[in-house]
Structure 1
Amino acid sequence: MPTVICGCYYLVDSTERYRRHEKHYLPLVSSSFHSRILSTTSSTVLTQNFTNPSPSEPVKECIYEFPLYDGVSVVKFTCRIGEDVLHGIVKESVDAKAIFDSAVAKGKTAALLEQAPQAADVFSIKLGNIPAGGKVVVETTYIGELKAHESDGVRFTIPTSIAPRYGSRSDPTTFGSVRAHAQHEGGVQIVVDVDMPTGSSIKGLQSPSHPIAVSMGTVSTASEADPAMSKASATLSLGSATLEKDFVLIVQVKDIGTPKAILETHPTIPNHRALMATLVPKFALPTCHPEIVFVADRSGSMQGNIPMLVSAMKVFLKSMPAGVKFNICSFGSSFSFLWPNSQSYTADNLAEAIRHVGTFDSNMGGTQTFEAIEATVTRRWSDLPLEIMLLTDGDIWDQDELFTYINQQVEETKGNIRIFPLGIGGGVSHSLIEGVARAGNGFAQAVQNGERLDSCVVRMLRGALSPHITDYSLEVKYEHEDDEFEVIDKVTDGMKILLSDSEESQAPSKALDGKEPTISLFDSTANLEPDLGASRGPTLPTISPPKLLQAPNKIPSLFPFSRTTVYLLLSPETYQRNPTAIVLRATSAHGPLALEIPIELLPSPQDTIHKLAAKKAVQDLEEGRGWIYDAKDQKGILIKDRYPSRLDELVTKEGVRLGEKFQIPSKWCSFVAVAASGKEISKREAGDKYNDDGYASCIEEEAESDGDLFDLPSEFSRAPHATLSEPSTRAAMTDTRSYTPYASFGVQAAKKMPPMRGGGGFSGRGGSIFASPSSAHARYISPPAAPSPSPPPPAATNSEVDSTGREPLEKLHSIIALQDFDGSWPVDKAEISRILGFDVGENPQGGNKSPWVTVVMVCYLEKKLADEKDTWELVVEKARAWLVDTVTIDLEGLEKEAAKLVDRT
């Protein structure tokens, strides 16, 4: 089936027997993306130009479909049809559709932007009354957060295809098969400007998906200016690209930032503020020993990805520590397990699993993800935490069913289930993998065709081995009003909702004696006419949102290599107090954790953080979570338990409130635009009546500014950021091998173990949408635990073919494949010498040869393959653990001898 791409089509009657309609596409004249990356967020303007080629036939209604990255917020929608300019405004979907339909019926030009009900990352725009020969220009502006990439970068993705992301559907009005001419031969133009905070240094830009041309030191929109290492620009080196796969750009940045909390005041909503906190935590706790199940997609669409999948699975299996139980589930149209239940990680079971992975092929039909996940959960060992590694190219519709199931299982097991999805290929559904990760308390990653999975799977495995941290909570500290006490608001305190008297009065009234009054079965004054108002059902209870609305409502699991962003929408009730810091707290089996982050105030009103916060809150509601699920009345009864039959309506009401207030489209709200003169738009305010044209009579200027969404004063981003590993932070840390049970999110701690060359864990970087106005950094509440020793600078890695005729990656996989189950390497010097290209010789200290060979292999990985650390890190940790447990000789001396041997090669 041809790839379904974004395009603009209309339906005509078909003469074919089994098809009532056929899609005809408007020619795509041009298409362009202009994106700006600022720290860890992005703003993108998508512009597409179409034309109605008919000189005499107008198009009454056509549909424009396009994908967006999961979680982005559409903040502006403009459509030009001929001479008409349409500016969109967000209304409840029912109202928006009524405005659109009425305008089209009256012959007016109109547009309607909607989110697909089956997938949150696919949008469609209906365009009405396109004149013959008319030109159509659709411009959509959206903002969003960026994914962290390894330890010092961000990953920016522009989805360009709708399928095979989801496959075909039979509905001719949505996403059926597509004619090849739907794609413009000239492709798409992409420009990405990168503007990092002053003090940050961009190390490089690269794209694993498309060839690009990079300009360092400046951005595309800049006039003559002095070059800065914090700026760069990337364009497609061929000028344009076809819409066959997602565009991916990786930006590597030195010292991208520290934990930050930014407070924004809304420019038009009175007394309303929003706060955004971002961090990539730095902490290390002793690893746990869970049950790990690899759920591998072997459907037909995985055909080109199987070799990459097999290679990654072998790294997975070799990197696991002793003490875990594991299993492999393969799925497509059906599913199958290697063993009926997960087995212990032993030498024999590892060998069987390696043989099983070697038989993988893309021969299991379609993609039925739900059944595979459900079977994995059903077969779990109930006394162990379950960690699911989902590897898929993500070809499913109707994601809500899967999200709902995962939400329920996580809640029922009290968070004892985590899911880590890895999307593979150019058409991955980011909505699917990110949604599964949010529901499953894990984190998601994605790789394009041809990208290496090795470092991704090791990062996922390290996440699965991280202990479960629970009871996350957020507090806001305010300025002291006097010297006697400090004001602190806990987000959880706002979950008790005071219902109005009208809701309480719905309960049966009682007489003075405490008994309910008796109703007569024959009342001559009774009105027997039906109450038409009551026939519509009882009115929904009035439930005011909390004064601190947190999004996401439940803080996701924190991992020391994954960025977490949490938002707070502060109601006018808090406006008289000045927030000074936020405090993040959590609990682990090894002790409590906490981090305090000072709040920085933006110098001028903006609404970017408000829109990102509202989108995150709406996303919660769409996926079956959100504050309303945890809200309680004044008696402590959950609102969802008090009104179980009305919960869906309450959720919808809240989704509409957020969408209309902050102008965010969702499954409940849509952008609607009706042609008017100049920059005027049609808008129906609350209480307005439709006029005889079918839409609201209220006309006003466009609410959204045409200016830059991220326009900040230049002096706001001048100061360099302080790092969490400054000498002043480490001054009190003396015992580098101690483990402090009361840990901090921002400092690495380690249980008693020998220092590991090259560091003991991932050290991610985080950042904020805005630069910090000062060098202030996070203050830690807990006594900081000792950090891992700073690693020495890695030796230069030879990326070319060496004397053995092997490339580094091929050699790395050979070394990992040869490692024994317990972490050691065998005493087969001939095989070792063949792989390394030199003779390892005898143990210089005499005795057992295996420790010597193992030390040489570890030293070789650290010195010669330092650039591949993300892949071999857990392998080396396992080897060092074996050396510590089994060796009674001078290990430090062996390491020195091995270093000399490796350095001579």
Structure 2
Amino acid sequence: MNCCGLLTAQKEPVPLKSVEVELEVRAHVATVVSTLNYENKEDKPLEAVFVFPLPGDAAVCHFSAKIGQTEIVAEVKEKQKAREEYDDALSSGQQAFLLEESDQSPDIFSLSVGSLRPGESASIRLEYVTELAVQADEGLRFCLPAVLNPRYQPRGSEDVCIQVTSVPASLVPYSLSFSAQVSSPRPVSKVESNCPLDALQYLNTEQTQATVKLAAGHKFDRDVELLIYYKDAHQPTAVVEAGQASAKPGTLMGDPVVMLSLYPEFPQAVMSSVTSCGEFVFLLDRSGSMGGARIKSARDTLLLLLKSLPMGCYFNIYSFGSSYEHIFPKSVEYSQKTMEEALKKVEEMGADLGGTEILTPLKHIYSQPCIPSQPRQLFVFTDGEVDNTKEVINLVRKNSGSHRCFSFGIGEGASSALINGLAKEGGGHAQFITGTDRMQPKVMQSLRFALQPAVVDMSVKWDLPKGVSVTALSPPITALFQGQRSLVYGQLTGQSSEAAEGCVTVKYSLAGHPSQNQVHFSLTPAEDTGLPVHRLAARTLIRSLEMEERERKGEQEEGVKKKVVELSVQSGVSSAFTAFIAVNKGDGEVIQGNLVRRNVPTPRMMSCCMPMPQYCKSFSPVIHLMDNCYQSDVSESCLPKQPPRDPLLQLVSLQKASGCWVLDPALAAALGKTSEEVEKPKPASVNQEVWATILALIWLHGFKMDAQEEWELLAMKAVSWLRAQNAPCVTECVEAGNALFGCNVRKDALGL
């Protein structure tokens, strides 16, 4: 303990006793209710500050506090007014609660619990709604963050921040209970988690409703991640939700709202013709926290990516920490020479560049002119939390016309606001790699998306009965990928006497092929839903307006800000310019004595001994790290020694940029044979490279089918190379190769 230089819970009593979380999932919308139970065990009145992460696109829509038998429900007010009201309440001896979003990042909230009397308990209820993202394997991902990673503060930024004590997870002095209820129009096939769960309980014979709980004794020592799988999840749907009875018709909350969920299925002919052009820019986090297994996995992933790129494209690799580096001054054409040069540099990359300053390398990438007829595809890998999330996302948005951005959050606690925001604003796709997940299959799936032709000329057309109209609440869709969901929100106004059915048609062009998806839906709204669709629609509109506000100046900026505040107050959904405030006017008894301030610790993920970062201390609810004081999360010495390279990666590393392999002792060793064993069965009329390439393909299909997602693209490249050779005796080669390995791989399975 002492080597971490941390204060223990015993030395500084902590007022948070327990956390209860109830999750309700309807199709792909999640409503989360968290109850935080506090108790003041000190002999003085207490003010506690609890800083915690939420999903970046969550809409916080309810906040209340219960003191004894008195419940106080918070109201949404303009942020400065709310802060003043909170301070006034405390100075006049009243209890008050303030919940606000960080100015820098939309996924960090701070909760100030003011004036808890000695021995008094307070129960705080927080509710938010969020859309669940679709993962590579079609599971919907929900994540309850257990840790607030220290956020790296870029040099020169002058923001002030709050001190948060971090303690090893085994000493976290509060407990967690977590339960989930899932319902969907389609059967729930399974629910998986990185934490032990009790068995899934179905509530009906159709298996469209189910409940699941976290097994007892969970330590909250990691994020709780749930993956929910539905049968036939890929059907497009539209849900209409009735407005709030007490709200005025014509307002967002008073009218029905429709949520359209699209899953495009692209023609097979288009999907099989992978584009062979593009500028691929890889941006890799090399901050201290990427040490050990993370940086090794990132190096292996870059190897697979570089081997899978098509001939004729362009590429470059950037890496960043407190400073940044690039392998080439500008993107270069992909060839054997440039690939080898890049791989040599990748092998030397370590987690040795300090902090997480992503803005500067991004600016440098965007300052490079685009290469004609080579669409730019940016891949960003980071395990980090940065303090200037909004600024980073804004930069990607400004450059969204010139590229697509694919983002990867590595490890527990990667900022969902940053990872999802980069992909959403960059018209790409986000992936999270946590626990024992392998990075490679997820990254290769994103490369397949990047190699898909971009969807252009997109339009959404609504056909509604006479007298009913729709106002779009979402920004226009800019990216569609095979098998990926897109959501569109619309506000419905007016009444119709005709048949209550609507239809929406999405048209787009893909590689010159016009395509469309159509969804028919009932206009009869679902009643009594708790308004999650309205709140998500409000959140979507608020986020768009906040982006707009950052780009406006003067009176225009103030006008947009006013709109955000009005919408936030009307919908009860938090924004960058509002906060939840609750004051207990109660029995009028004034609290005596000076307030003691306590910061509630958040669990820390690493148990290794390391110096405690020096946090700075002040009002704003974001955690910062001063430059260079957190060079490394963990020393290399306490990481396990790395095993020798996986045979698959050994074989991949020997492939040439053109797609072929060379018959040499290194290939024989990677295939687990001697040079003589691989050379002897070669048919006399076949050249060595053709034989070596067929052997490599047979070995991949014969022994590594479980990792096919990882090598599929580079195998396609090998097959294209073989076809171009017009080699004789291919059937004979495949038979001889099968005999050598004791396999039974058919020629057509290889694509030959």
TM-score after normalising by structure 1: 0.67
Tell me which residue corresponds to 1:314: 303
On the 8 A contact 1:199/1:230 being kept in 2, the answer is no
Tell me which residue corresponds to 1:473: 459
Shift of 1:250: 2.8
Q: Deviations over 1:303-322 (max 9, x none)?
A: 23211211111111111111
On the 8 A contact 1:37/1:192 being kept in 2, the answer is no
Q: 2:260 aligns with which of 264, 273, 277?
A: 277
Determine which structure has greater relative contact order: mean sequence separation of CA pairs < 8 Å that are 6+ residues apart, divided by chain length.
2
Q: Work out the CA distance in 2 between the residues paired with 1:821 and 1:31.
A: 53
Shift of 1:395: 3.1
1:873 equivalent in alignment to 2:712: yes
Tell me which residue corresponds to 2:339: 350
CA spacing shift, 1:276–1:859, aligned 2, 3 Å? farther
Shift of 1:399: 2.3
CA spacing shift, 1:279–1:188, aligned 2, 3 Å? farther
Q: 2:555 aligns with which of 610, 631, 646?
A: 646
1:34 equivalent in alignment to 2:22: yes
Q: 2:326 aligns with which of 337, 340, 353?
A: 337
1:416 equivalent in alignment to 2:373: no
Q: Work out the CA distance in 1 between the residues paired with 2:159 and 2:468.
A: 56
On the 8 A contact 1:584/1:596 being kept in 2, the answer is yes
- AA at the equivalent of 2:172: E
Q: 2:533 aligns with which of 609, 628, 644?
A: 609
- AA at the equivalent of 1:395: E
Find the residue that maps to 2:463 and give its secondary structure: strand
Find the residue that maps to 1:215 and give its secondary structure: coil
Q: Work out the CA distance in 2 between the residues paired with 1:189 and 1:49.
A: 11
On the 8 A contact 2:51/2:109 being kept in 1, the answer is yes
1:394 equivalent in alignment to 2:394: no
- Shifted more, 331-340 versus 470-479: the winner is 470-479
Q: Deviations over 1:110-147 (max 9, x none)?
A: 22211111110011122233212111222212221112
Shift of 1:431: 1.0
Q: 1:430 aligns with which of 392, 412, 416?
A: 416
Tell me which residue corresponds to 1:263: 240
- AA at the equivalent of 1:618: I
1:842 equivalent in alignment to 2:681: yes
Shift of 1:288: 5.0
- AA at the equivalent of 1:247: V
Q: Work out the CA distance in 2 between the residues paired with 1:206 and 1:396.
A: 27
On the 8 A contact 1:267/1:605 being kept in 2, the answer is no
On the 8 A contact 2:234/2:483 being kept in 1, the answer is no
1:161 equivalent in alignment to 2:140: no
Tell me which residue corresponds to 2:218: 240
Q: Deviations over 1:733-780 (max 9, x none)?
A: xxxxxxxxxxxxxxxxxxxxxxxxxxxxxxxxxxxxxxxxxxxxxxxx
On the 8 A contact 1:299/1:362 being kept in 2, the answer is yes
Q: Work out the CA distance in 1 between the residues paired with 2:438 and 2:166.
A: 33
CA spacing shift, 1:41–1:849, aligned 2, 3 Å? farther
CA spacing shift, 1:233–1:293, aligned 2, 3 Å? same
Q: 2:200 aligns with which of 204, 207, 216?
A: 216
Tell me which residue corresponds to 1:584: 506
Find the residue that maps to 1:646 and give its secondary structure: helix
Q: Work out the CA distance in 2 between the residues paired with 1:556 and 1:392.
A: 24
Q: Work out the CA distance in 1 between the residues paired with 2:428 and 2:119.
A: 51
CA spacing shift, 1:573–1:461, aligned 2, 3 Å? same
Find the residue that maps to 1:825 and give its secondary structure: coil
Q: 2:290 aligns with which of 273, 280, 302?
A: 302
Q: Work out the CA distance in 2 between the residues paired with 1:151 and 1:157.
A: 16
- AA at the equivalent of 1:813: L
Q: Work out the CA distance in 1 between the residues paired with 2:76 and 2:5.
A: 27
Find the residue that maps to 2:671 and give its secondary structure: helix
On the 8 A contact 2:259/2:487 being kept in 1, the answer is yes
Shift of 1:326: 0.6
Q: Deviations over 1:79-123 (max 9, x none)?
A: 123343121232332443344344434433222211111110011
CA spacing shift, 1:897–1:217, aligned 2, 3 Å? farther
Q: Work out the CA distance in 2 between the residues paired with 1:4 and 1:671.
A: 35
- AA at the equivalent of 1:274: V
Q: Work out the CA distance in 2 between the residues paired with 1:575 and 1:867.
A: 57
Find the residue that maps to 1:213 and give its secondary structure: coil
Tell me which residue corresponds to 2:542: 618
CA spacing shift, 1:240–1:454, aligned 2, 3 Å? same
Shift of 1:350: 0.9
On the 8 A contact 1:186/1:242 being kept in 2, the answer is no
- Residues 632-711 of structure 1 aligned to structure 2 (within 5 Å): 645-675=554-584
1:463 equivalent in alignment to 2:449: yes
- AA at the equivalent of 2:519: I
Q: 1:49 aligns with which of 37, 54, 59?
A: 37
Tell me which residue corresponds to 2:180: 193
On the 8 A contact 2:237/2:261 being kept in 1, the answer is yes
Question: Where in structure 1 are there 5+ consecutive unaligned residues?
Answer: 9-22, 482-486, 490-546, 630-639, 679-692, 694-805
CA spacing shift, 1:904–1:358, aligned 2, 3 Å? same
CA spacing shift, 1:80–1:168, aligned 2, 3 Å? farther
Q: Work out the CA distance in 2 between the residues paired with 1:108 and 1:567.
A: 41
Tell me which residue corresponds to 2:472: 549
Q: Work out the CA distance in 2 between the residues paired with 1:475 and 1:896.
A: 55
Q: Work out the CA distance in 1 between the residues paired with 2:426 and 2:3.
A: 33
CA spacing shift, 1:605–1:809, aligned 2, 3 Å? farther
1:370 equivalent in alignment to 2:365: no
Shift of 1:844: 6.0
Shift of 1:668: 1.7
Q: Work out the CA distance in 2 between the residues paired with 1:242 and 1:675.
A: 31
Q: Work out the CA distance in 2 between the residues paired with 1:316 and 1:420.
A: 13
On the 8 A contact 1:90/1:672 being kept in 2, the answer is yes
Tell me which residue corresponds to 1:91: 77
1:112 equivalent in alignment to 2:112: no
Find the residue that maps to 1:420 and give its secondary structure: strand
1:441 equivalent in alignment to 2:422: no
Find the residue that maps to 1:555 and give its secondary structure: coil
Q: Work out the CA distance in 2 between the residues paired with 1:355 and 1:192.
A: 49
Find the residue that maps to 2:184 and give its secondary structure: coil
Q: Work out the CA distance in 2 between the residues paired with 1:321 and 1:624.
A: 38
Question: Where in structure 2 are there 5+ consecutive unaligned residues?
Answer: 591-641, 746-752
Q: 1:562 aligns with which of 484, 505, 508?
A: 484
On the 8 A contact 1:4/1:163 being kept in 2, the answer is no
Shift of 1:272: 0.5
Q: 1:178 aligns with which of 156, 165, 179?
A: 165
1:250 equivalent in alignment to 2:227: yes
Find the residue that maps to 1:451 and give its secondary structure: coil
1:292 equivalent in alignment to 2:287: no
CA spacing shift, 1:406–1:616, aligned 2, 3 Å? same
Shift of 1:274: 0.9
Shift of 1:339: 0.9
1:821 equivalent in alignment to 2:657: yes
Q: Work out the CA distance in 2 between the residues paired with 1:897 and 1:290.
A: 38
Q: Work out the CA distance in 2 between the residues paired with 1:589 and 1:36.
A: 40
Q: Work out the CA distance in 1 between the residues paired with 2:481 and 2:176.
A: 36
Tell me which residue corresponds to 2:192: 205
Tell me which residue corresponds to 2:623: none
Shift of 1:51: 1.4
Q: Work out the CA distance in 1 between the residues paired with 2:490 and 2:350.
A: 47
Q: Deviations over 1:247-294 (max 9, x none)?
A: 323334442241111111213234601111123322245425111111
CA spacing shift, 1:203–1:861, aligned 2, 3 Å? farther
On the 8 A contact 1:295/1:389 being kept in 2, the answer is yes
Q: Work out the CA distance in 2 between the residues paired with 1:136 and 1:576.
A: 53
On the 8 A contact 2:264/2:517 being kept in 1, the answer is no
CA spacing shift, 1:190–1:858, aligned 2, 3 Å? farther
Find the residue that maps to 1:212 and give its secondary structure: coil
Shift of 1:360: 0.6
CA spacing shift, 1:661–1:570, aligned 2, 3 Å? farther
On the 8 A contact 2:59/2:535 being kept in 1, the answer is yes
Q: Deviations over 1:6-49 (max 9, x none)?
A: x99xxxxxxxxxxxxxx976432112333233432322222222
